[in-house]
Amino acid sequence: MSFDGYKTVIEEGDTVILYLTVSQVYSVQAEAKTLSKKGVEVDNVFQTPYGALKCSDLIGKQYGSKITLSKGWGYVLQPTPELWTITLPHRTQIIYTPDISMIVLQLELAPGSIVIESGTGSGSLSHALIRAIKPHGHLYTFDFHENRVKLVEEEFNCHNLGAFVTVTQRDVCSNGFGSDLDNKADSVFLDLPHPWLAIPHAVNSIKEDGGRICSFSPCIEQVQKSCEALSRLGFQEIQTMEVLQTSYSVQTKRLPVLNLDFVKTEKDGNETKGKERDVVKSVMAVPPSTQPGHTGYLTFATLPPVWARKLQISLNQAQESGNDLN
């Protein structure tokens, strides 16, 4: 499938991005038949604002080509994690591209990295993580909801990404990530209501030579408790940020030019008023009239190597003993 690499021609079973306008982007399956709500096999027809699309007609067409609909036209594009994020079926609140890009950067992901994710949700972040770590890395993703785990696993297999990800149903706050992942992960990502309960298990899973952790939380109270847990467990470089994207509109505007010689003294002592003389065109960036006030907080931290952790614990204990004596 095309999620695992770029292709030229659409093949049967591919996930294809149908682009109509900036705000009308859809994901469709290039399959001739599909099952109706009653479980009956019917022709796979996708309805759009510009007419119906027979998905079987996509097979054999080149990616990037223009297709004609009964009331207009569109383009068929290669699926990418960014396009999948804006077209995927929502089962939970998802993480969007501005936050995803910061997560991939701050976790220092590279091909070959071993990453733990919890929870999986709708798989928006998961696709971006897999792209960053394949072909030699692996993603271990956890979710406590059985149906979500089943659906997202089917999507990974459909997108030909199953070899790079292991999906597990588990309450990681209570049960951790499993002993088979002890000292195996380069990075851990948490998107949980109570991330501070999972942080001790993350310590067990991160490699002995250290690693990075990220926690996504919508509330500042969650951030406070998470930071307390990170500090107590020996994490360093703890920082919290919020990624707010601002889109500026570049416009050409007409600006009046004032006559700078407008201050003149008449014989009667009165000053003449300034007059607009010319008009010039200027290109400027206009900020949006409204902007989202809050998305979510990203908390990042580094777990140092084992020897440094032991040294820090010894220093903390010595400091606590000194405070007790005082």
Closest CA to 150 of 120, 175, 124: 120
| Dihedral in degrees, nearest 10, Cα atoms 202, 169, 161, 39 | -160
CA distance 99 to 124: 11
The rounded Cα 111 to chain-centroid distance in angstroms is 18
* Residue 124 annotated as binding site: yes
* Residue 125 annotated as binding site: yes
Beta bridge partners of 21: 24
* Residue 191 annotated as binding site: yes
For the chain, the distance separating the N- and C-terminal CA atoms, rounded to the nearest angstrom, is 67
Closest CA to 129 of 72, 91, 167, 77: 167
Four-residue CA torsion sign, 49, 50, 52, 57: negative
* Residue 101 annotated as binding site: no
CA distance 120 to 112: 20
* Residue 255 annotated as binding site: no
CA distance 195 to 215: 7
Residues at the binding site for S-adenosyl-L-methionine are 122-125, 143, 191
Residues at the binding site are 122-125, 143, 191
